[in-house]
Structure 1
Amino acid sequence: METKQSGPIGRPRGFDADEALERAMVAFWEHGYEGASLTCLTKAMGISTTSMYAAFGNKEELFRKVLERYTEGPSAYLPRALEEPTAHGVATAILAGTVRTTTRPAHPNGCLGVQGALTVSDSGRGVRDLLVAWRDNGYSLVRERFQRAVDDGDLPPETDPGLLARYLTALAYGIAVQAGSGVGRDELQEMADAALRNWPLS
């Protein structure tokens, strides 16, 4: 859909920047950072390379904007999960959100934050480091939530919140990798349910 938005120097922009960013997110999600060439990205976005640079910056800057969109959109289940009243509820919601997000028919399988830049050349190290920090931040949020659960008596006092958070996030990332390999939603949810049957109770 053609819309007129102000460009960086005040002139009308002949494309919907929000829609273009959404399409770029899908392209990076499907192909990974290095697999998504400039030609692939601009074709998916429906704009020229010049327009892409003017609106979003270079490829790495575009990816950073895409990751923000992914965090606030498909990956927004994480902050919602952390609000669950129990640690078990948090874990259940995180794994259910991971399964749901990584197997949606309308989106690529897998997780942009996990598979976007696992292996990159020197030029992609900034993006790889960005995704490492993104995953570490998710882990830290879960660890802090589990520490509160220990303090509140919701988890046994001997529970190591860091180890439990590492276990949960590793399982979630493993689900994402399996989803990217084509494993179906039902099987992944069964795996998540099996893991939660061993959850520590207070």
Structure 2
Amino acid sequence: MTETATVKLGRPRGFCEDTALEAAMRVFWEKGYEGTSLTDLTEAMRINRASLYSSFGDKETLFRRALARYGEGPAAYLKVALQAPTARRVVETLLKGVVDLLGNPKNPRGCLSTQGALATGLGAEPIKNALIEWRKGAEAEIQKRFKRARTEGDLPEDINPGDLTRYLSSVVYGLGIMAANGDTKADLNRVVDMTLRTLPL
């Protein structure tokens, strides 16, 4: 192998993959999956299409990686909430995390898990299913935590863990829609306050 070939093969990438993935996540968050073009992605990630495909795969693969990053980063409040000592604290921590995320003016409006599915047609059915699985996975973790609370005597006997999970999920999704519609952090907090006042915990 010539010295020239060695240099060419050993040449480092001209971009930070982590930074590029963060940029892609925020574009998908703002525009949804189908609303995001390859040009949107390459411009935000500051790479060309060849680099996008070689480093991240196709658009669908990139979205899945962006969604995973969202769960590990902006939406990491779920993992924190699941560690709370009581069922009520789980709810409080989760809703506070949601509001802090949605109410941050530096973030795109709404939640990636719902915004990403906007105008998802037949061609993007795998993405629609991936988002459903992502949300269902989060709900399953919450329900598991509430079942543990029942076993520990922390959750009243007349409250079904599955029903409580569905109720909490409906509040979270509602907050996401409110944020996407332009409601302020104060508006979201009022909904959370009312939810906590009526929570039978």
TM-score interval (norm. to shorter): over 0.9
Question: Identity, % of aligned pairs?
Answer: 47
Note the alpha carbon deviations across 1:153-195, whole angstroms, 9 max, x for none.
Answer: 1111121100000000110111011101110001101101101
Task: Report 1 or 2 for greater relative contact order, CA contacts < 8 Å, sequence distance ≥ 6.
Answer: 2
2:67 counterpart of 1:67: yes
CA positional deviation for 1:141: 0.7
2:120 counterpart of 1:120: yes
Query: Within 1, Cα distance between the matches of 2:58 and 2:154?
Result: 47
Q: Equivalent residue for 2:6?
A: none
Structure holding more helix per residue? 2
Q: Equivalent residue for 1:190?
A: 190
Query: Within 2, Cα distance between the matches of 1:10 and 1:34?
Result: 36
Output the TM-score relative to the length of structure 1.
Answer: 0.92
Q: CA RMSD in A?
A: 1.1
Contact preservation (8 Å) 2:175, 2:188: yes
Query: Within 2, Cα distance between the matches of 1:10 and 1:29?
Result: 34
Note the alpha carbon deviations across 1:25-56, whole angstroms, 9 max, x for none.
Answer: 11000000000100111111111111100110
Q: Which residue identity lines up with residue 76 of structure 1 in the other structure?
A: A
CA positional deviation for 1:17: 0.9
Contact preservation (8 Å) 1:113, 1:131: yes
Note the alpha carbon deviations across 1:90-116, whole angstroms, 9 max, x for none.
Answer: 001111111111121211011001221
Q: Equivalent residue for 1:91?
A: 91
Q: Across the two proteins, how many residue pairs are aligned to each other?
A: 193
Query: Within 2, Cα distance between the matches of 1:72 and 1:56?
Result: 18
Q: Equivalent residue for 1:76?
A: 76
Query: Within 2, Cα distance between the matches of 1:59 and 1:198?
Result: 43
Q: Which residue identity lines up with residue 103 of structure 1 in the other structure?
A: G
Contact preservation (8 Å) 1:29, 1:108: yes
* Structure 1: tracts of 5 or more residues without a match: 1-8
* Structure 2: tracts of 5 or more residues without a match: 1-8
Runs of 4+ in 1 over 4 A off after TM superposition: none
Q: Equivalent residue for 2:18?
A: 18
